[in-house]
Amino acid sequence: MKNKAIICCGLLLVLVTGSVSISGISNDEPTSLIKDLVRIDITQDDVILPQNVEVVAENQGEYIDIIIPRDRLSELSDNQISFTTRIADMDAYHAAFMGSYHTFPQVESIIEGIAENYSDIVNLFSIGTSYEGRSQWCLEISDNPGEDENEPEVLFMGLHHAREWPTVEICLRIANNLTAGYGTNATITNLVNSRRIWIVPCVNPDGYVWCHDLNHDWRKNRHYFPQYGTYGVDLNRNYYGSSNGEIKGEWGTIGDGSVTHSPGDEVYCGPGPASELEIQAVTDFIIGHEICALISWHTYQEELYWPWGYTSSTTPDATYMGAIGTGIAQRITRQSGSGTYTPQQAYGLYPTTGDTIDSMYGYSHYALGRTTFAYTIEACADFHPSAGYLDQICKENNDGALYLLQEAQNIQETVVPRVMPPLLDEIPNDSDGSYRVSWQQQNPSADPDYYQLDELSGLTLGTDDAEAGSTAWTLDGFSLSTTRYHSGSHSYKSRYLDSDTSSMTTASPIPVTSGMKLSFWCWYNIENNYDKGFVEVSTDARYFKILDSFTGSSGSWQYKEYDLANYSGESVFIRFRYTTDQGTLNEGFYVDDITPIAAFGSITTLSSSIPNEFYDITGKTNGTYYYRVKGHNSVRGWCDFSTLGKVIVTLGDDITPPVTTCTLAGDMEGDVYVSDVTVTLTATDDSGIDYTKYKLDEGAWTEYSSPIIVSTNGNHTVSYYSADTIGNIETEKTCSFTISKQVPTVTITIKGGLGI
């Protein structure tokens, strides 16, 4: 068994010493296929980069390094942008150093050898499979692999970006040192015995094979998009956003970030958050384990970063997280042998969204209520240091990793997590006006000291046609507009700015009932596959899920409808988001006639100092009441509210039926509609609505869930009624209207005589 380990280490030594001279490489490809790495001087003026170039490094106020096709270098010169070429021909550069780094099959052989030789402390498994069928291998290193002993868990990852080969070697070195040193090195033995260590050497195996093994300059994965004829997504732009409710930190937000929605570009963020198999595997793995800290290695810059990367604002844990990051960086000597890596907040490199550290820190903190200190290390002074430097680089980064492993215990034991929104217990309907509202804490380790309980009543659900002001929304860039509208004379429109993000979010939570659907009308003219609009849903107004996205031109007002069945029994917030890059700016994104929108007649805080996980209520009169609760601890303060819980109070016999109103929307001339008509039914009742039914003309009775669109010319009648939750049924009502869409008149002029 030990012989195999010696063979693996010997293989590493042979490969590392086999570098190739770059001067021996020739490339006869056309200049459109040759890419150069150039450094742009930004000390003098504000520099606007050409579109669709790949930013790979930046020192703010000094320089930006980009990779650009050689035949586009004239774009820099034509715009008086000062630059120097650092690497002429990236493919030739890669070929020069291929022999210094392992092929992917060799990587697999090495980790298999480690797992076999040290099976008592190592478990080798795959966390996922790539698009081309390769495994994303993970090494678990612990004294009892496979067992959850509530030890601090730390994750090390290499190679999100295909051309960043040294990151694989760094992870292999860490794995080798932890296993070979176990039982002989006291520090390592103690760490393995008291930690659960995970190592994923190659997050992007397809990209690595394409770039390293097959010698193609490449950054992304190898996901093929036949509709575009392009390959690949930048995996470090495909994670969730910051999950803190900030639109600038969301996946897909462009603004000033190094990210695009253009599928052919190097920093393409993908069709959706965690859309890629490789990132689904990583995020599922992190969510499924109590990872308290992680490092994701990249190249190059010789710097270490912590969140946030999308903004200069700091995270709630910036002081402690930054101190540990500084400690890691101080243990990694630069490639030159002089000085150590530079530690800083990630925003200091260049703004990004959808990256590993913002997403995993933010999602853990806000959505999971636990701590994950997340770091990026940009190792090396260039992409592929020669064999003479590689051993030193791996050793130095191993020292930084060991420091994080040592600090992991302190992170787990001393960082108090945020209180998560409590889970309200179901409240039975009540007949005497006295009942208990109770809840469960999602993360007891947050140690909440008290709670606040709010009561909401007088709910109305309706359609916002943008004619009564914008009080139903929290506007951040969207505003009321009279430029375009589906009905009435107003709609909501996105802000008209380059490198910008705007949003509008429902001000009140919407209780979701069975069969409920979100619907709205939208008109958009958005730079195709560069700028984007989104409609999103959230239960806490922080972590939003995308229901749909919009780009290109709608051509006309479009009706959109989305089933909210996954949120039945909960309450949600709806958000519209629009994001633009610095290039072409089209008219933007309009929305109108949005259903359902919730409004409450009364919102009352019953108490903000409840010491227990329940609250007794007395003296309520007939009606439907909603409740929400949030917790507090001394470190983080107040958390977010829970979703709404509902109770219906019925004292004695309630014989009052619901009241349903019918609202019509469309373009009119006199008393006649000359467009499609949107029919919205809104029902109210103190006991709560069980269902609303309708029929159009002589059609069948149908349960109402969203506005009805009527398109045909003629006289129409909508019949409708509602029933409440205790069986009272409303008398049938009707509303009538006429549609007369004008048929275009075509005039034909015939020249010449009869028979011609």
- Structure confidence by residue, pLDDT tens digits, 476-485: 999 999 999 9
Considering the chain, tell me which residue range(s) the CATH 2.60.120.200 domain(s) occupy: 423-649
- According to the model, what pLDDT value does residue 57 have? 84
Report how far residue 635's alpha carbon sits from residue 694's, in angstroms, rounded to the nearest whole number: 53
User: Quick one: pLDDT band at residue 754, thresholds 50, 70, 90?
Assistant: very low
186: exposed, middle or buried (Cβ count in 10 Å: 0-12, 13-18, 19+): exposed
- According to the model, what pLDDT value does residue 228 have? 96
Report how far residue 464's alpha carbon sits from residue 473's, in angstroms, rounded to the nearest whole number: 10
Instruction: Show the DSSP H helices in 346-475 as ranges.
Output: 356-362, 387-414
Predicted confidence (pLDDT) per residue in 608-640, tens digit: 999 999 999 999 999 999 999 999 999 999 999
User: Quick one: pLDDT band at residue 163, thresholds 50, 70, 90?
Assistant: very high
pTM across the whole model: 0.85
Predicted confidence (pLDDT) per residue in 206-219, tens digit: 999 999 999 999 99
Q: Identify whether the C-beta of residue 167 lies closer than 8 Å to the C-beta of residue 159.
A: yes
Predicted confidence (pLDDT) per residue in 445-484, tens digit: 999 999 999 999 999 999 999 999 999 999 999 999 999 9
SS3 of 678-718: EEEEEEECCCCEEEEEEEECCCCCEECCCCEEECCCEEEEE
- Classified as helix, coil or strand, 234 is coil
Q: Identify whether the C-beta of residue 448 lies closer than 8 Å to the C-beta of residue 424.
A: no
Residue 516's closest CA among 691, 341, 731?
Answer: 691
Q: What is the mean pLDDT of residues 277-286?
A: 99
Asked if residue 171 has pLDDT above 60, the reply is yes
Considering the chain, tell me which residue range(s) the CATH 3.40.630.10 domain(s) occupy: 100-214+273-414
DSSP state of 212: I
601: exposed, middle or buried (Cβ count in 10 Å: 0-12, 13-18, 19+): exposed
H or E, element range at 515: none
Classified by CATH at the fold level, domain 659-739 comes out as: Immunoglobulin-like (2.60.40)
Tokens of 129: 């499979």
Q: Which CATH number fits domain 423-649: 3.50.30.30, 2.60.120.10, 3.30.70.20, 2.60.120.200?
A: 2.60.120.200
Tokens of 255: 């603004």
Predicted confidence (pLDDT) per residue in 561-586, tens digit: 999 999 999 999 999 999 999 889 99
Considering the chain, tell me which residue range(s) the CATH 2.60.40.10 domain(s) occupy: 659-739
- According to the model, what pLDDT value does residue 749 have? 54
- According to the model, what pLDDT value does residue 32 have? 58
What is the pLDDT of the chain when averaged over all its residues? 92
- Classified as helix, coil or strand, 262 is coil
Q: Which CATH number fits domain 100-214+273-414: 1.10.3660.10, 3.40.630.10, 3.30.1330.100, 3.30.70.270?
A: 3.40.630.10
SS3 of 518-572: EEEEEEEEECCCCCEEEEEEECCCCCCEEEEEECEECCCCEEEEEECHHHCCCEE
Predicted confidence (pLDDT) per residue in 502-537, tens digit: 999 999 999 999 999 999 999 999 999 999 999 999
Predicted confidence (pLDDT) per residue in 537-563, tens digit: 999 999 999 999 999 999 999 999 999
Tokens of 347: 């925003």
Report how far residue 607's alpha carbon sits from residue 585's, in angstroms, rounded to the nearest whole number: 49
Residue 662's closest CA among 744, 603, 753, 737?
Answer: 737
Tokens of 213: 């093994």
Neighbouring-strand partners of residue 87: 37
